[in-house]
Homo-oligomer: A and B are copies of this chain.
Amino acid sequence: MATYACRSRAELLNEYAKLNARFADLKHQGLKLDMSRGKPSKLQLDLVSDMMTILTDPAECIIDGNDARNYGDLAGLKCAREYWADVLGCKPEQTFVGGNASLSLMYDLIARAYTHGLVDSDRPWCKEERVKFLCPSPGYDRHFRITEHFGFELVTVPMTPYGPDMDVVEELVQDPLVKGIWCVPKYSNPQGYSYDSITINRFANLKPAAPDFTIMWDNAYCVHEFVGEFQPFDDIISLCEKAGRPNMVFEFASTSKITFPGAGMSVMASSVENIKYLTKLISVQTISYDKINQLRHVKYLKDKAHTLELMKRHAQIMAPKFEMCLKILRAQVTAKGIAHWHHPTGGYFICVAAMPGTAKRTLELCRRCGVVLTEAGATYPYGVDPHDSMIRIAPSLPPIEELEKAMNVFCTCLKLAALEKYLGIDPQ
C-alpha cells in the first residue's frame, strides 16, 4: 500500500471511513489505560520485593562502629558510596548518596545554585538579571519544569541520534547567561538515544562563558538495557576533570527503576570539591538521609555485576512490551509514511514523531478511547512542541494484553489525525 501522501483523495476518504468505524468500536470498549509515565509494572516490583526481607537483623546496621539506624553520615554510608562508584565508574568520594529520589537531588542542586550559588559562581543565580538553561528536546518534562520553576529561560537545543546537537550547544554556551544544560545521556528520555563518545567528549571539553555552567547529567538509565548486553559508557566526571573543568558536571542516578520507584536510593556524583561544598550546604537542610534503606539496597544489589544480573530479569519483563509496541507500530503505521520512531534498546520510552500538527489531536482521540499518554508538548520547554509532533509512549506499566489494546487505539488515532490533516477535515 502507498503512503497516505501518495494516495488519492478518494482512497484517503475510504481509509478515513474505515478508521472512523474502528475508532467508534474502540471507544465503546470502555478502556481505561495509562501509559503516561515511566512507571515500572507490578511484575517488576514483585521481582525485587524479596528486598523487603533482606535486612531484618539490627546487628547488621552497625558498620565500622557507626549505627545506620541513628543520625549521621550525611554523604551516605561508606558501602553505599562504594556501590554507586562501582555502578557509575567514579570514585566513592565523588558520590553523595541521598534519599529515595534523584529528582529531588537535582531540584535541590538547582535551588542551591539559585539561593547560594555553586563553587565557581560569582553570585547566587537569584541575583543574576537573567538565567538561561539549555533543554535538549524532546527531553524530560520534570527536568524542564525545575528550571522553569526558578524563572530561568529555557532554550531548546535539537536532539540528534548521537545526543544534543553539539554545534548548537557550543555556540550557546558562549553566552554567559547560559548556566547549564539538562542531559539524559544514556537511553535518553523520551527517544532512547545514547550519546556517542564524540558528543560526551565535546561536553567534557565545553568552554562555557559562565564560570559556574553546570551539566546536569541525569544518568537515569545507566544500567537499563532491555535488549542485549550492558553498554559501557564514558565517565563524564573524569573526562571533565581531564579537560580542566572538574566542577562543571553533576551526575545523577537512582534505583527507582532497579528496585522500588517510591522507595529507592539516589546518588549525585561530581568532583570532590563540588561534593564537599554541597555536603556543607546540605547539612543545613538535613542531618542525614535514610541509611537503613541505603544498607538494604547495598545488601540486595551488592555491586554493579550483581545489579546487571537483576537488570536482565527486568529486561525479560520490559523487552516483550517494547517489542509489542514496535511490532504494532510497524504493522499499522510504517507503510503510511506519517510517523517515525527509534527502536530503543534500553530506557523506558518510545518516542513517536508524528506528522507535524497531529500530536495533540492524536492524544485527544486516544483519551476519548480511554487511553492516556504523556501530554503532547510535554517533552519540550514550557510544554510547547513547536511542531506538535512528538508523542512519548511509556510501555512499562500496563500488562502486555492491555498494552496491545492501547497500541491499537494509539495507531488508529494517529492515522485518523493524519487523515484529518490530509483531507482538511476540521476536528470536532
Residue numbers of A with Cβ under 8 A of B are: 37, 39-40, 42, 45-46, 49, 52-53, 55-58, 61, 67-73, 99-101, 103-104, 107-108, 111, 114-116, 126, 142, 145-146, 149-150, 256, 260-263, 281, 284-293
Contact = CB atoms under 8 A, between A and B. Distances in A.
Contacts of A291: 262-263
Contact of A262 (B39, B40, B57, B71): B71
A256 B291 CA distance: 13
A284 B146 contact: yes
A36 B335 CA distance: 72
User: Could you say how many copies of this chain the assembly holds?
Assistant: 2
- Most-contacted residue by chain B among A58, A70, A103, A149 (CB, 10 A): A70
- Most-contacted residue by chain B among A52, A58, A149, A262 (CB, 10 A): A262
A261 B289 CA distance: 10
A55 B52 contact: yes
Given A286-B107, A287-B101, A263 B293 contact: yes
B115 A262 contact: no
A415 to B, nearest CB: 32
A262 B284 contact: no
Given A111-B111, A285-B108, A262 B52 contact: no
B45 A262 contact: no
14 contacts: A46-B58, A49-B58, A52-B55, A99-B290, A103-B285, A103-B287, A107-B284, A107-B285, A107-B286, A111-B115, A114-B115, A115-B115, A142-B284, A263-B292
B114 A72 contact: no
A289 B108 contact: no
A100 B45 contact: no
A397 B187 CA distance: 48
B284 A145 contact: yes
- Most-contacted residue by chain B among A104, A146, A289 (CB, 10 A): A104
- Most-contacted residue by chain B among A99, A145, A263, A293 (CB, 10 A): A263
A70 B261 contact: yes
A111 B290 CA distance: 22
Given A46-B58, A262-B290, 18 more contacts: A49-B61, A49-B69, A53-B56, A69-B262, A71-B262, A99-B99, A100-B290, A101-B287, A104-B285, A107-B285, A111-B285, A116-B149, A146-B284, A149-B281, A260-B292, A263-B291, A290-B293, A293-B293
- In order of increasing CB-CB distance, the 3 nearest A-B pairs are A49-B58, A263-B292, A107-B285
Contact of A69 (B45, B58, B115, B145): B45
Contacts of A42: 67
Nearest to A60: B52
Contacts of A57: 52
A260 to B, nearest CB: 5
A45 B71 contact: no
Given A69-B261, A291-B262, A286 B104 contact: yes
